Structure 1
Amino acid sequence: MWIQNVLFVLIAALPLVVNASDDHNHADDHEHEHEHEHESEHADSTEIEESMALRSGVVVSVAAEGKIERHVQVYGTLQTPPEQFAQVRARFAGLVKTVAVNVGQNVKQGDVLAVIESNDSLQNYELRAPIAGVIQHRAVNPGEITSADPLFTIIGNETLWANLHIFPAQRFDVAVGQNVHIQHNGHTHEGAIAHLVPGSGETPYVIARVHLQNTHKDMVPGDMLSAQIDVQLMVADVVVTSEAVQTLEGKDVVFVQQGQYYIAQPVAVGASDGVHTQILQGLEQGERYVARNSYLIKADIKKSGAAHSH
């Protein structure tokens, strides 16, 4: 009789065991489902403590309105303007009595270059510098008789022309009046395009001419130089640093900071000048984004994604 009672108790308990096992399986399934949802929610994000981000050099900025300045990089040479070039001849034929200057010497306008005795009047007269500059050429010595040829050549060094070569692919962007930043010998000179001059038939470029003041007296005709021409200036509603934009899974993204999370936000980019980039869609003014070292965030997200895939 007791055996029958034991069997009855065991049989009655079986549904409870089955139900308990089912509840446990449902709990596991729910937990795994929640984990998958959490992983999916942050699939394109990573969590980094603030102290770690600072040590890594991650810099966060606020998206805001800004300027996009587009430039054209060009090269060229320095040239003496016609008004800074003077060939000095004797006014009257005669005997050269004295010569006061040598090649390479700086002279001021009005300085005496030579004294000549006129053949007609036998009176001495002074030959003076018509411009300030450097004596480039001297073709006379004391005791010689002058002729119609130039006795001195003076090159002015107060102003110069920067002749910038504008090739066909750049012509559409370049125009008279645009600002130019010229780099030469460690200095930056500011100017504007005064003329666009056609090149010779043998050259594939036109010349953008900029008048320069030789402030540091270090510019010499024939020197090579580089320059940036400001060809476009626009104000955009949302601007980020250009290095903030990364490519993730074939999409342009910016990493938005939300607390300790850095989330890959797909964006549509517009104009860029290499330093700043316009954001057309995907980011609003006031949002915090990774402005510097964003590649570290990208690497961390890719590493996390690889770990989840295993």
Structure 2
Amino acid sequence: MTEQNLTIARAHATCHATDGRDRRARPVPRVSHDALTNTPESFSMALIVDFLSKRYRLTTVLLAVVLVAGCGDGSPGSAAEGAGQDTHVAAQKADADHEDGEDHDDHEGGEDHDEHGDEERIVRLTQKELAEFGIEVRTAEGGAVTVTRQLPGEIVFDPDLVARVTPRVQGVVQEILKRTGDRVQQGDVLAVLASRELAQIKSDYLSAQARLDLVQATFERKQRLAEQQITSEAEVLESRQALREAKLALQLAERKLQALGLSRQQIGELGGQGEAALARYELTAPIAGTVIERHLTRGETTAAEADQPPFVIADTETVWAQLTVYPRDFGAVHAGQKVTVIADGGDLTAEGTIDYVTPQMREATRSATARVVLDNPDGRWRPGQFITARVQVAQAQADVVIPESALQTVEQESVVFVLTDEGFEPRPVRLGRRAEEKVEIEAGLRPGERYAATNTFTLKAEHGREALEGAGHAH
């Protein structure tokens, strides 16, 4: 047995002796002398791998790789050396290919791709197309930015211009001359009532007037008799006292009629009226305006103590905009500030000035109220209508101010389409303060540059279309 074969046998026995899972000694497999002397080295190594695979399967895989690599010249060293050289050559080839690819991208297609991307950002429109789409080009410039606060509110009647018309005496409704929606003037008759109470007061007046006439005649007669010394001075004094009392009674009756709404002229005409006219009571309009409510029917009895007034008249040529001022706005809102009032829906606006802010808060809403008086000659503002008011609380100057219509959002960025020599470029901008449909541009647009100010959605749509076409071309 050669020295090399003996060494292999010893290693075989040692592996059995040091097995961690079975500490007992195991016999060395019998190998014939011919097998050990006549078997080549590769076969001896195979015996060792076969034996170790029963205990160390992972190690077997690694040894198999080494054996396969070494099959070239029969030497393990030369196999490892060959594998290393092959690996090194492959790595050098891959690096060279990668560098060639980078050079190709940089020098052949990279710049062309960037230039193509820049061209995709430009939107080109002719002057005719700009006019067709209504795109207005303006020059960026500075201006004032008015800071506003938005307050909710409601249109209400001016309380001084609303009249709740009620009769001053109880009576039965005989005629109704006006209805809801009718325009009336001050003094117009709204309805006619028949009132026994009024008839009695008128009768008292006429009686007082008749008694005054009688007492006046008696006094004058006694005064003439006293001058002729036919009657005594005491009778003259008594007659004078009766005259004074009759005058007071007539004045009292006249005041009662005036308190019921009769004018001096109407009172003076009572003497020529018939009996039926004494009970006639005319319910008249105290102000000019529009009948907005009527709670009266023919034949019913009505009085001043009725739950609802028979007529409600309002002058709507002037209305109030009542604005709700919450605590966060107390320091900013005050009388004298200009206000833009906008009706819900945005189809109606008006300009005004705050003329009063309540010093106390309403308990239910914990808010104060600001009042704006609005002219309403055509009746467009209707009480009960909800509104939003923009109160101008401050004003500041900015280097660049553009209308909000110039802004668009592209890829989640606010952009302005700036006009260049090639066309419209969507340029990202940083926004500042906003007020009254204007916005301050803090960065991205310089004074003097030209930009699209109106109908810019067309440019955004065109930019998106070109971007999609560019993406399809790239694929």
TM norm structure 2: 0.46
How far apart in 1 are the matches of 2:323 and 2:450? Answer: 42
**What is residue 162 of structure 1 aligned with on the other side?**
321
Structure 1 residue aligned with 2:188, among 92, 111, 115? 111
How far apart in 1 are the matches of 2:331 and 2:108? Answer: 58
**What is residue 120 of structure 1 aligned with on the other side?**
201
How far apart in 2 are the matches of 1:228 and 1:85? Answer: 24
Structure 2 residue aligned with 1:181, among 341, 346, 356? 341
Contact 2:122 2:463 in 1 (8 A): no
**Deviation of the 1:279 alpha carbon:** 1.4
User: Aligned Cα RMSD in Å?
Assistant: 4.5
The structure with more strand, counted as a fraction of residues: 1
How far apart in 1 are the matches of 2:283 and 2:187? Answer: 9
Query: Which runs of no fewer than 5 residues in structure 2 stay unpaired?
Result: 1-102, 204-269, 271-277
* Cα shift readout 1:45-94 (whole Å, capped 9, x = no counterpart): 63444439937956543212345455555543332222123244556x57
Cα gap change, 1:33 to 1:249, in 2 (>3 Å): farther
Which structure's CA Rg is the greater one?
2
**What is residue 293 of structure 2 aligned with on the other side?**
136
**Deviation of the 1:296 alpha carbon:** 3.8
How far apart in 1 are the matches of 2:450 and 2:108? Answer: 29
* Cα shift readout 1:4-33 (whole Å, capped 9, x = no counterpart): xxxxxxxxxxxxxxxxxxxxxxxxx79954
**What is residue 141 of structure 2 aligned with on the other side?**
64
Report the residue type matching 1:54 in the other structure: E
How far apart in 2 are the matches of 1:205 and 1:101? Answer: 43
Q: Which 10-residue stretch deviates more, 113-122 or 102-111?
A: 113-122
How far apart in 2 are the matches of 1:305 and 1:30? Answer: 22
How far apart in 1 are the matches of 2:451 and 2:294? Answer: 63
Q: Which 10-residue stretch deviates more, 190-199 or 133-142?
A: 133-142
**What is residue 281 of structure 1 aligned with on the other side?**
443
How far apart in 2 are the matches of 1:298 and 1:139? Answer: 68
How far apart in 2 are the matches of 1:69 and 1:220? Answer: 29
How far apart in 2 are the matches of 1:69 and 1:170? Answer: 16
2:362 matches 1:200? yes
The structure with more helix, counted as a fraction of residues: 2
* Cα shift readout 1:86-127 (whole Å, capped 9, x = no counterpart): 244556x57679656444243211223457645234245765
Using the aligned pairs only, state the percent identity: 28
How far apart in 2 are the matches of 1:143 and 1:270? Answer: 67
Report the residue type matching 2:201 in the other structure: D
Structure 2 residue aligned with 1:260, among 389, 400, 422? 422
* Cα shift readout 1:115-161 (whole Å, capped 9, x = no counterpart): 76452342457654221232634569789696666975432123222
**What is residue 373 of structure 2 aligned with on the other side?**
211
* Cα shift readout 1:242-263 (whole Å, capped 9, x = no counterpart): 3444556776543432211444
Cα gap change, 1:214 to 1:167, in 2 (>3 Å): same
**Deviation of the 1:217 alpha carbon:** 3.1
2:157 matches 1:76? no
2:302 matches 1:227? no
Q: How many residues are matched?
A: 280
Q: Which 10-residue stretch deviates more, 53-62 or 102-111?
A: 53-62
**Deviation of the 1:286 alpha carbon:** 1.8
Report the residue type matching 1:214 in the other structure: N
**Deviation of the 1:183 alpha carbon:** 2.4
TM norm structure 1: 0.65
